[in-house]
């Protein structure tokens, strides 16, 4: 088996995050129009305190945005990684795919567990940053290039072809 290294996985994750960010941006735009506050988020700046964001959108809208992001992220990763593609769009670009420890296609349940053990936990305040750091370190140093969430879910990220980017 050809194990995918840290940097390919990292760049693939950035591509996936950009795609999810685009979907989130569209959702927030429609939500702002529906709430009749289309310019609320354009008036915010990166240095605005959280209270300003809450007052511009309201707690219920922020909760809806959070729920949308979690659900779409989960479905994006779990559906694509358990499909016949076995990969998200970011992974596909680099010829990577997700498999179980025997190299077989993962089930939707296992892909959901992988998502929950990784990306979902990474969003928990304070704990998420520590977990994310440990997760990334594991992907870079373990013999099978498994991140912590891969190990917990019994998954591997593999390459479809040989080359300098993969390790046997």
Tens of pLDDT along the chain (168 residues) come to 789 888 888 899 999 999 999 999 899 888 888 877 777 666 767 787 777 777 777 888 888 888 999 999 999 999 999 999 999 999 999 999 999 999 999 999 999 999 998 877 777 778 888 888 888 888 888 889 888 889 889 999 999 864 444 444
Residue for token pair 């997700």: 98
pLDDT value at residue 65: 87
H-type helices in 58-164, by residue range? 59-82, 89-93, 108-115, 127-141, 148-153
Closest CA to 110 of 150, 139, 138, 144: 150
pLDDT value at residue 163: 41
Query: pTM of the prediction?
Result: 0.82
What gap in Å lies between CA 71 and CA 143, rounded to an integer? 32
DSSP-derived secondary structure letter, 130: H
pLDDT value at residue 6: 85
Query: Domain of 109?
Result: 3-167
pLDDT value at residue 164: 41
Residues 86-122: b if buried by 16+ CB within 10 A, e if exposed: bbbebbbebbbbbbeeeeebbeeebbbbbbbbbbbbb
Element housing 100 (H / E): strand 96-100
What separation in angstroms does the CA of 60 have from each of 56, 65, 120, 132?
Answer: 11, 9, 21, 28
What gap in Å lies between CA 37 and CA 80, rounded to an integer? 34
**Domains: count for the chain:** 1
């Amino acid at each position: 088996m050809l194990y995918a290294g840290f940097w390919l996985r990292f760049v693939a994750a950035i591509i996936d995050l950009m795609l999810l960010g685009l979907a989130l941006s569209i959702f927030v735009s429609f939500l702002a129009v529906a709430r009749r506050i289309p310019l609320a988020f354009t008036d915010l700046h990166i240095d605005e305190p959280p209270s300003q964001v809450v007052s511009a959108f309201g707690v219920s809208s922020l909760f809806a945005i959070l729920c949308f992001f979690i659900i779409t992220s989960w479905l994006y990763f779990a559906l694509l990684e358990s499909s016949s593609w076995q990969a998200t769009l970011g992974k596909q670009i680099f010829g990577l795919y997700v498999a179980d420890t025997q190299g077989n296609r993962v089930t939707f349940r296992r892909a959901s567990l992988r998502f929950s053990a990784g990306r979902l936990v990474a969003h928990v305040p304070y704990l998420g940053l520590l977990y994310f750091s440990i997760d990334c370190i594991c992907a870079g140093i373990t013999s099978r290039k498994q991140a912590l969430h891969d190990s917990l879910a019994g998954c591997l990220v593999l390459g479809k072809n040989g080359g300098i980017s993969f390790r046997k």
